[in-house]
Amino acid sequence: MVWAIVAIGGLSFIVWAHHMYVSGMNPYFGFFFATTTLIIAVPTAIKVYNWVLTLWRGNIHLTVPMLFAIGFIFTFVHGGLTGLFLGNVVVDLPLSDTYFVVGHFHMVMGVSPILVVFGALYHWYPKITGRMFNDAMGKWHFWLTFLGTYSIYLPMHYLGFLGIPRRYFAYDSFDFIPESANMMNSGITVAALFVAVVQIIFLWNIIWSTFKGKKASSNPWNATTLEWQTPNTP
């Protein structure tokens, strides 16, 4: 895991031009940066294997923090696999500046980190407040957020394959775009608003549990990390 992170850090200095395939760069540079972009997938895959093998045959309890952690792995892998498409110059040229890029980037750099943050907040909430959050509300929050984000970004990949450019509000003036694309774009907007509203569940859970939540034990997760070995919560 450590060497994979070091390799990713080093290779990151020589992959940046994969964002510039359509800028008119020399084709030989495109070949070089496409190669380094695909190579960086190797240490990234090692990290994913590490996470999955850590879970393999483990005594996994599907608590709210664990659900968010597993959701992170799903979205990270999904975003990474779509990144392999964009790492190839031939594929990237028609997909560049389309909704496919938006869907890919937000899955791997938007949804994945947010799921980790939510999981961390739920995990350390008992240590911070001394109380347990409402488990049912936490699971509703996870599933509605997880499925809602897929309702936003999975259709974007399809729109990208249709050649729909990003940064446009409506596409009525484009003859090559089918009417179904406009309907799907509207559906994405509704899904985004839905996911935003769902976060009220999280906020209410935090506020309600702070005052009404069950008292937390010193180690409600039976965790072995250092912070959970203290005898008392705040």
Residues of the chain with pLDDT > 90, as a percent, come to 38
Both tokens of 154, joined, read 């999975």
pTM of the model as a whole: 0.87
Using CA atoms, how far residue 102 sits from 71, 98, 106, 110, in Å, is: 20, 7, 6, 10
Cα 170 from Cα 25, distance rounded (Å): 31
CB burial readout 192-212, b (16+ within 10 A) else e:
eeebeebeebbeebbeebeee
What average pLDDT score do residues 167-188 get? 78
Neighbouring-strand partners of residue 98: 165
> What pLDDT, in 10s, does the model give residues 42-72?
888 888 888 888 888 878 889 999 999 999 9
All domains of the chain, ordered by start, with CATH? Answer: 59-229 (1.20.210.10)
Q: Burial level of 116, CB count in 10 A (0-12/13-18/19+)?
A: middle
> What pLDDT, in 10s, does the model give residues 65-112?
999 999 999 999 998 888 888 888 888 888 888 899 999 999 998 999
